[in-house]
Structures are given as C-alpha cells and as structure tokens.
A and B are shown apart, each in its own frame.
Chain A
Amino acid sequence: MKILAIDTSNIPLSVAVLEDKTLLATMTTNIKKNHSITLMPAIADVMKLAGVKPAELDRIIVAQGPGSFTGLRIGVATAKTLAFALDCELVGVSSLELLAAGISDDKTDIVPLFDARRNHVFSGLYRNSNELINELPDQHRDLVAWLTELKERNQSQIFVGTDVDLFKPQIIDILGEQAYFPAPFLNVPQAFILGLIGKDKEPVEQETFIPNYLRLTQAESQWLETHSDKDHNTYVEKI
C-alpha cells in the first residue's frame, strides 16, 4: 500500500510517503512559514523523491486536529481534495495521538499538548502498552484545571509537544516529580509515525470529512447562549 501522510496542525509541518510500514521519503519543517506556501511543494518533492506518482497512492492520512484552525484546514482541505481527486482512501488521525505515538514508555501516562492560548491547551491522555490507548479524550482545557485533574491520577506523566516548554514551569509547579519530559526530538510530530498509525485505521467518508477543532467559534458559542441550535434552516445550501 502506498501512503501519503500529512501533518500541518501546528507550526511544524511534516509530510511522508510510505510503502506499507516502510518509509520512502519524508520532510519536516519547524519554521514559522505559512503552510499554504510550503505544503503542496513539500508533497510534490517528497513524492518525487519516493518515486511515487499521485495516481499510485492508495491512501492519504492526515492529522485531523486539534491544532491551529488555519493549519488544520490547509492540511485537511489538501488531503481531502487529493483523496477525492485520486479516488483513494482517506484517513484522519488525532494530531495529539500522533505525538503520543512517539513515546514507547509503557509505564507512564502520555500527555501530548498544544498551546490553545489564554493559558488553555489542547490535550488528551494516552498509554502505550503494546498498542496506543486513548484513556482521556482529546479536549480543550484550562491548563491549571487539566493539570490538577492529571495530578489526581498519581501516575508518572510524560508531557510531549513543541509547546510543552512554554508551560513547563506550571506543569512542574502542579505535578512536581510526577512530570517527565521526553528527549527534544520527540516533541516534533513526524509524518512517518502518522503513516504508521493511520495505516491500520478505517478510511472515512471523504465528502463530510472536516478537522476536529474541539472548539466552537466564539461567534457560535455566544450565539448559543441565547439561541437554540435546533430546527434551523440549513446553514449552507446549494442554490
């Protein structure tokens, strides 16, 4: 099976081409450059290096979120349209699961984490014994509330992600010696790992596939405070 894997959830961008479990070519950047400029040329380059033509792809795997709304949309719009145009399988993988999968220690909780601003994070809780298990679902949380909840588990916990440094003082403050930090290279998501996780997942329905934002827009949450979301006209209609 020829696989293209794409992650543009946050500042890092990673693209890989796999043949089953084998990596053929990959590119990862961790620079503040717009993903819309970088992604498509990166896909073209990596596929060329791998010697795989678009029509030969069997499956496209994309990190579906959470993460930066714009970053997710660039990755998902690209992946979804490529899969549609090439009539191949499409698979979405949690962007947090992708980071957790890099940690093979089976004795600790794995806590991947992205900055969601205003001292909030996107995070979840995973364990990796033989297979990766999601114990607490991906969520958008106030950092202090999330760390307090984690503290009560009384488990060693490893925090992973490029944004972890930003929150390290607060993590240590609340969790003390319960918190661990991985080797720095594990903080950057790798599309090779994304390919390995997504290879065994069920393909999705392409047309309705959208990012997992894990957050309503501010306009919608404010509107819902005073309105019901039931019995409305179709929000989007073809005319």
Chain B
Amino acid sequence: MSAEKKNLILAFESSCDETSVAVVEDGHIILSNIVATQVNSHKRFGGVVPEVASRHHIEQITSCVQDAMTEANVSYDDLDAVAVTYGPGLVGALLVGVSAAKAIAFAHELPLIPVNHMAGHIFAARYESEISYPSMALLVSGGHTELVYMPEEGQFEIIGETRDDAAGEAYDKVGRVLGMTYPSGKEIDELAHTGKDTFNFPRAMIKDDNYDFSFSGLKSAFINTVHHADQLGETLDRADLATSFQQSVVDVLAEKTLRACHEYDIKQLILAGGVAANKGLRARLEADMEKMDTVEFIKAPIKLCGDNAAMIGAAGYVEFLKGQRAGLDLNADPSLEFDWIA
C-alpha cells in the first residue's frame, strides 16, 4: 500500500504590506513560507501608504512564488490547489495576490480557493495545535480587534469588535507620541515590562454588557496626558506611560475574552493576529486561562502572528476540503467581514 497522497496548497497573501507565498502540506505543515516585508519603506511615511504597498507587491510577487516553490521543492504538478487572501485589506494590494493566484490556477488548471484574511490569522494557530470546535478566537491586529465564535469548522461569527480604533492602531499612534518609529507595538511591549501602571488610563467599555471594544478614548487620554505634561515642561516616565497604556489594553481584551469564554460553551480559546505577538497580552491570557480547565488556550506561534501565506494555506485547506472554490472572476473584497452572530 502506498502512503496516502499528501495535499499541497500554494498560498498567497498580499492584503497589506507583506507579500507572502507559502507551500503548505495537509493544512498544518509548512514546506515554505516566504515573506517579503515592506516595513522599511512605509517607515518613511509613518504608516502604510496603499499605493506604495501595491507597487512593492508587484515587484515581489513572482520572486516570492519562485522561492516558495524552490524551498518546498515542489513542481506545479505536485500542487492540489491555489489559495489566496481576497479580503479584507487594501484593495490595490489584494489585487496583486488575487491576480497572481488566478494566473497560476489558470495556467496549471488548479482549483482556486478564496480565503478571508481574518480566518487566515485564526488558522495560524493550526501550526500550534489541532483546532476543536466549538471554539473562540480573539483576533487583534493593526486593522482589527474582534472576538470570533466558531461553532464548527469553517464557520465564523463575530460576537464583538472594536467600535473605533483597532488595538494595534492605538499602539502605533501612541508610539508616535513617544517618538518611536512605525510600527511601534514591539517597542511599547518591551518598554511596558520595565515600568509601573501609574497613570491609570481608562478601561473603555470594560463593564458593558457586550463584547465590543473601544481604544480611541484610551489613545486620547494618553495623548492628552503627554501634551499636558509637555505644556508644563514636565517629562513623564516613558516606561510608566508604556506600562499604563499596555495594562489598559490588556485588561479590556482579557476581561471581555474571559467573559466570552465563560458564556459560550467552547473547547478552545485561540489568540491570533499581529498583536497576538504582544508578550504582555500572551502572559495575561495564559495566567487567566490556567484557571479555566475546561477551555484549552492556544496561541498562534509568534512568527506566524504577522501577515503570512502559511496561515492562508492552513485556512485554505479547510475551505478546500469543504469544496469551496472561486471562479476566475474572483475579485478583491477590501471590506470582507465574518458574519455577525444574530
């Protein structure tokens, strides 16, 4: 008996400022995961400029495919499908990945699998552990902050999300006030481990009877505190500022997530998205979840928290098994969303 044929998916991700192509085996083994990051370019502007991002994607796209195929040591004949992020994200950026994925699917008569970028982030956790349903995910990134309930495989329902800024966005804006270069999440996280929570910034909506978040009030409180001190000629302790800011973010995220874990009958909590690499957030949820022995806590691996195509391959594999296919008319959908729970 020969071994069962392995499933191989060529996956594309280009929704923001990373061009990434991966080859993924059976939805959970990374054969290659090439990530070309544009962060040095967007640092010039203090944030991602969509047209600049799109231009970089087209410079990189075939080189990333080449590297991914070579590193995985596979040929087109070995592939079972092409998976691609078609939203949410920057439309011009998404279109490069979508166009390239369609070209390869057409050239080699491969099925094309449309993948929601946010589902991709959740499935980065698949490289840590199998996912059991029902499950809950806390998705935190520069563009999103949401709690997603997954009653079964391939079903995603938002139970709460930010009403204004995403958590990662707040980090970048606060970082700018502290004179840090974009993106500043990692630097604030590191600084936050050296100070004390002395400023007691607001914890918006923490007691509200819903799973929504708000970070713009925290951002304003932070900026006002710093500006007020500047006017008085005072210098505030940067470490204490960072700690106080991070503590507020982590408190709100953890409290609402824990409440969701208690109120929903779930087997796992998944932490995913770019901000899931935040050490403060990981440690806090880990400590909290230890007290809940009915729910397993799974963190997306740190190196797969940022945008990458391996996570798209993992999510694409699930869609592939469900028979989900896109036509050659697949378009980018910049505001693609999960359904809201009724």
Contacts and interface: CB of A to CB of B under 8 A. Distances in A.
**Co-assembled chains A and B:** yes
Contacts of A237: 36-37, 40
B257 interface: no
Contact of B106 (A73, A82, A207, A210): A82
**In which size bucket is the chain B interface?**
35 or more
Contacts of A233: 40
A84 B66 contact: yes
Contacts of B331: 34, 36-37
A200 B225 CA distance: 66
B329 A69 contact: no
B148 to A, nearest CB: 27
Contacts of A54: 106-108
Contacts, number: 130
A212 to B, nearest CB: 12
B51 A81 contact: no
B218 interface: no
Nearest to A57: B107
Nearest to A222: B45
A5 B329 CA distance: 19
Interface stretch (A40-48, A102-110, A131-139): A40-48
B54 A69 contact: yes
Interface in B5-51: 19, 34-38, 40-41, 44-45, 49, 51
Contacts of A82: 103, 106-107
Given A77-B58, A78-B99, A236-B41, A219 B106 contact: no
B35 A238 contact: yes
B103 A78 contact: yes
A239 interface: yes
Contact of B92 (A70, A76, A208): A70
A236 B60 contact: yes
Nearest to B95: A36
Nearest to A211: B58
Given A41-B329, A82-B107, A73 B95 contact: yes
Contacts of A41: 327-329
Interface in B104-135: 104, 106-108
B45 A223 contact: yes
A213 interface: yes
Contact of B99 (A74, A207, A219, A232): A74
Interface residues of A, number: 44
Interface string A31-60: 000101111110110000000001100000
A85 interface: yes
B95 A77 contact: yes
A85 B103 contact: yes
Contacts of B187: none
Interface string A64-91: 0000011001101110111011100000
Interface string B258-273: 0000000000000000
A227 interface: yes
A207 B66 CA distance: 9
A76 B58 contact: yes
A176 to B, nearest CB: 38
A235 interface: yes
B62 A207 contact: yes
Contacts of B78: none
Nearest to A238: B36
B58 A208 contact: no
B67 interface: yes
Contact of A85 (B54, B67, B108): B108
A23 B46 CA distance: 50
Interface of A: 34, 36-41, 43-44, 54-55, 69-70, 73-74, 76-78, 80-82, 84-86, 206-208, 210-211, 213, 217-220, 223, 227, 232-239
5 contacts: A73-B96, A80-B58, A84-B65, A213-B55, A236-B38
Given A38-B329, A78-B99, 5 more contacts: A54-B107, A55-B107, A85-B104, A218-B51, A239-B37
